[in-house]
Each structure stands twice: as C-alpha cells, then as structure tokens.
Amino acid sequence: MNKICIVTGGSSGIGLAIVKSFIHNGYTVYNLDIQPSTFGHFIECDMSKVEQVQQAIIGVANQEKQVDVLISNAGIHRSANIENTSEELLDEVFAINVKGAYAATKAIIPLMKKQGMGSIIYIASDQAIIGKSNSFAYNLSKHALASMAKTTALDYASFNIRANAICPGTIETPLYHTAIDKYCANSGANKTDIHAEEAALQPLNRLGQPEEVAEYALFLASDKATFITGSLQVIDGGYTTG
C-alpha cells in the first residue's frame, strides 16, 4: 500500500527538500502552503488559520483513508529581543510556528488513532535547545515545538503514534539568505564575508543543506525508527555541542 505524507510549508527550503525526498522514496505527498509548488499535491493553506489547516488535513484524511506521516515544517523567523517584540510580532510568529503545528496535529490524531499507527515530525531548530540573541519570539516558538513532540509522544504512544522533533542548525535555505541579505542591507556588511563567518561558526566548517534534513526526516518516518519517540534529533554540524 502506498504511504501518505502531509508536509506543511513544503514549497521552499527544508520543506521542499522533504517533499522531494519523500516522493522519491515512494510516498504520496500533500503540501500545505500559501506559496504554490509543482511538487507533490499542493493545497493552498494559510498555516496561521487553525480552521483552514484542520479542513485541509481532514480533507486529505477523508480522501486517502490513511496518513502515515505528518511533518509540521511551516514557520517564520523574526529578529528581535523581548523589548522589541511587539504583541503583534509575537502573535505573528506563534500563529504559524505553534498554532499551525497544533492545528495540524490535532486534526490528524483521530485518523492515526483509528489506523493504529503514525509518525509526526516537527521541524524545530537548534533554538529548541539553546538560546540565541535577538531571537526571542522564534526561540520561544521552537521550544514550544519541542514540548509538543514530547507531550504528543507520551499521550499517544499506546496508539503506536510516534512524535519527534528535528532540530536543524544553520541550514542554507531561502530563509537563511533572506536573513543574511537583510542584515547586510542594514549593516553594510559584505554578504560573502558574513556567509563565510556563519560557516566558520560550525564545527564542521560549513552550513547544512536542506536535503540533509530531509534524509533525517525520512529515517524518522521509516520502520527503521520505530523505537524513537519523544526525542529531539539535532542536525547542526556540532554547533550545540559547546
């Protein structure tokens, strides 16, 4: 039987790499995003709207009758310390990063309970483990995803539903380049120099690639990882070891 995977935020970056990897490995993949994509079955969905997310997930569940994997990847980043984090900015980050994951998980759990199995994977961040400056709301949201993985794993282990969080470090995605471009525009720094400095911060002396995170997700979703649940899986080139 063909396996079914739902990915949120699968139109670019890590999400797109995950969609491509799962398709390549025989999955039927549904991509929930506001940005259109030609990869997988695209469903336009604003992840900040709980009802939209739930309707999209339930629609796939009703059509396919089984969903093996949910990958909650959709997220945004905003740079600010707590003083510069307005209530509106906090709400914006949490609406997508946390409420979107909440909505998708809550919608898929009944089907996974009924089918007696499932794998839920949250794409968190190394910031679910460590703190980084000028990243108050984002850091807070990624800690929330780590908590979601742990509590969901405990609450639904008896139904053979596994929940884990992948915690990528600095990965070279469009989101990464947007952040670097914005920093350089504001500071006057040279992008090539900043890019090299970011790579040098990693013990492996390079940035991670989206495809590497996708392969990690593929493993966690597979039958090779059936004894792994409630875990935070770090893929950061050794950055958090210090």
Residue 85 to residue 241: CA distance in whole angstroms: 29
Q: Which residues contact 122 (CB under 8 A, 6 or more apart)?
A: 72, 101, 145, 146, 148, 149, 163, 164, 165, 166
Residue 3 to residue 62: CA distance in whole angstroms: 15
Looking up tokens 């929930």 gives 32
Rounded-to-10 torsion of CA 234, 33, 90, 230 = -30
Q: Could you tell me which residues are beta bridge partners of residue 5? A: 29, 69
**What is the residue-wise DSSP string for 181-194?**
HHHHHHH---HHHH
Among 122, 138, 176, 216, the one annotated catalytic? 138
Residue 242 to residue 228: CA distance in whole angstroms: 25
Catalytic residue flag (residue 239) = no
Write out the catalytic residue numbers: 138
